[in-house]
Structure 1
Amino acid sequence: MEFVTLFCTAALLAGGLYWFVCILGSAEQKGKHAVHLSSGSITKENVKDNYKLYWSFFQRPKEIEKADKVPTFVDTFSNLVIDIYKWGWGQSFHFSPFIPGKSHRETTRIHVEIAADLLNVKPGARILDVGCGVDGRMRAIAAHSGANVVGITITEYQVKRARTHNRKAGLNKQCEVVCGNFLQMPFADNSFDWTYSIEVTCHAPKLE
């Protein structure tokens, strides 16, 4: 009986893994399965070392609390998960309230458009997206409001992907992406009319 249970459990797990990797489609690109994902910013030879580096922070949790250790921690994590996040969530890495009759992509777009409306963003305004990722929300807000949006992310790979998406969307004149640490902003005071951050400040050791 134990063998039968073990066999059925293994078969269920194997089937679930196959469905996730080979059958389940991308959030935005129909027909693109997880098995077809690119290797992203980390070569196959370096994935194991990067995983060990990421895991080492949990073995020394006090180090994560130090501001000088946070950039390495977040950058390592982002490089490990960026492509699977983009595949699963699309170009905006945050959760949005479910809207009946709307797709995941539409729901996410509407969510950030409402945020822009609440800020009363006007055409030509200059906005900062703190912790932008590959910044689907930047493009949604720019297209919706006519504002100019600058995003900052600590991961160079995300900067490259965001700039590529900006060009493809025809929004590269409205959208700019900067590689940097939002704990040490590289911008002069009063550079922006509005600033927003969605599900990113959790990466900061302190919220002050």
Structure 2
Amino acid sequence: MELITLVCTVSLLAGGLYWFICILGSAEQKGKHAVQLSGGSIQRENVQENYNQYWSFFRRPKEIEKAEKVPAFVDTFYNLVTDIYEWGWGQSFHFSPAIPGKSNLESTRIHEHMAVDLIGVKPGQKILDAGCGVGGPMRAIAAHSGCNVVGITINEYQVSRAKAHNRKAGLNHLCDVVCGNFLEMPFEDASFDGAYSIEATCHAPKLEDVYSEIFRDCRLPHQRRRNRHLHPDAYDSLQKTGETT
């Protein structure tokens, strides 16, 4: 009896370990399991050094406030977390309101569609995704609206992941991704018909810098939409001034 119990216990543990390593992960991510998680574009031997550098920012918070330090800080952060985010969260690195009767993925897609519905995006228009990550929102929005979306991310590894997902989804003709700093974007003035940013502008040292750059890139300055993280106290304060939309 004890042998049977032992065998069952070992089998259960082995099955659970297999599920965690080889199966668990976002359903939309397909193809990357826990054993394949990496440090993005950081070489394996440099992961610890980059992690220490990233952690040092938190020990010296004043360093983060220096604009010239922010790109390196954000790039290191996404090198360290991109694979983990995709594996456990999916291809959209943002939160979405839960909708009764809808799965998390469905709620996420509805939230993303709303971002461009609110600015009246039309098929064939060219839209900017400022801080696109691996392009989950971009693909959902392009498929939903028929518009062309160009995303920008500061992280080279995310560019390669986004382009791979675009090819897999058959959306190369609508979606493109460039590597760059959204505080100094490599686009001509008035290059886009509209823009959105979903929980990305929180990485800007000064919000007016990134928003002025987005306005510069848009033909119609009023056609933009953004979401951002807020501390509850900050949200209450902004709600009183009507700045939470």
Structure 2 residue 105 is the aligned partner of structure 1 residue 109: no
* Corresponding residue for residue 161 of structure 1: 161
Higher mean C-alpha displacement, 119-128 vs 20-29: 20-29
Q: 1:32 to 1:143 in 2, by over 3 A?
A: closer
Deviations 1:45-96 (A, max 9, x none): 2211110110111222212111111000000000000001111221110001
Q: For residues 79-158 of structure 1, what are the structure 2 equivalents within 5 Å?
A: 79-158=79-158
**Contact 1:34/1:84 (CA < 8 Å) preserved in 2?**
no
Deviations 1:141-199 (A, max 9, x none): 00000000000000000000000111111111110100000011111111011111110
Q: Runs of 5+ in structure 1 lacking a partner?
A: 1-17
Question: Secondary structure, in 3 states, of the residue corresponding to 1:196?
Answer: strand
Q: What amino acid maps onto 2:37 in structure 1?
A: S
Q: 1:144 to 1:169 in 2, by over 3 A?
A: same
Structure 2 residue 73 is the aligned partner of structure 1 residue 76: no
**Contact 2:153/2:178 (CA < 8 Å) preserved in 1?**
yes
Q: Runs of 5+ in structure 2 lacking a partner?
A: 1-16, 209-245
TM-score, structure 2 as length reference: 0.73
**Contact 1:109/1:137 (CA < 8 Å) preserved in 2?**
yes
Alpha-carbon separation, structure 2, partners of 1:67 and 1:73: 10
Q: What amino acid maps onto 2:147 in structure 1?
A: A
Structure 2 residue 34 is the aligned partner of structure 1 residue 35: yes
Alpha-carbon separation, structure 2, partners of 1:37 and 1:195: 34
Q: What amino acid maps onto 1:120 in structure 2?
A: G
Deviations 1:89-139 (A, max 9, x none): 211100011112222222111111121211111000110000000011000
Percent of aligned pairs sharing the same letter: 68
**Contact 2:29/2:87 (CA < 8 Å) preserved in 1?**
no
* Corresponding residue for residue 174 of structure 1: 174
Q: What amino acid maps onto 1:45 in structure 2?
A: E
Alpha-carbon separation, structure 1, partners of 2:30 and 2:152: 31
Q: 1:90 to 1:116 in 2, by over 3 A?
A: same
* Corresponding residue for residue 25 of structure 1: 24
Higher mean C-alpha displacement, 58-67 vs 153-162: 58-67
Q: For residues 191-206 of structure 1, what are the structure 2 equivalents within 5 Å?
A: 191-206=191-206
Structure 1 runs (4+) deviating above 6 angstroms are 30-33
Q: What amino acid maps onto 2:134 in structure 1?
A: V
* Corresponding residue for residue 238 of structure 2: none
Question: Secondary structure, in 3 states, of the residue corresponding to 1:41?
Answer: coil
Structure with greater Cα Rg: 2
Q: 1:77 to 1:99 in 2, by over 3 A?
A: same
Question: Secondary structure, in 3 states, of the residue corresponding to 2:173?
Answer: coil
Q: What amino acid maps onto 2:36 in structure 1?
A: L
Question: Secondary structure, in 3 states, of the residue corresponding to 2:109?
Answer: helix
TM-score, structure 1 as length reference: 0.85
* Corresponding residue for residue 185 of structure 2: 185
Q: 1:184 to 1:135 in 2, by over 3 A?
A: same
Higher relative contact order (CA 8 A, sep 6+): 1
Q: What amino acid maps onto 2:148 in structure 1?
A: N
Q: What amino acid maps onto 1:64 in structure 2?
A: I
Q: What amino acid maps onto 1:104 in structure 2?
A: N
Q: 1:168 to 1:57 in 2, by over 3 A?
A: same
Q: 1:137 to 1:33 in 2, by over 3 A?
A: closer
Cα RMSD between the aligned structures?
2.2
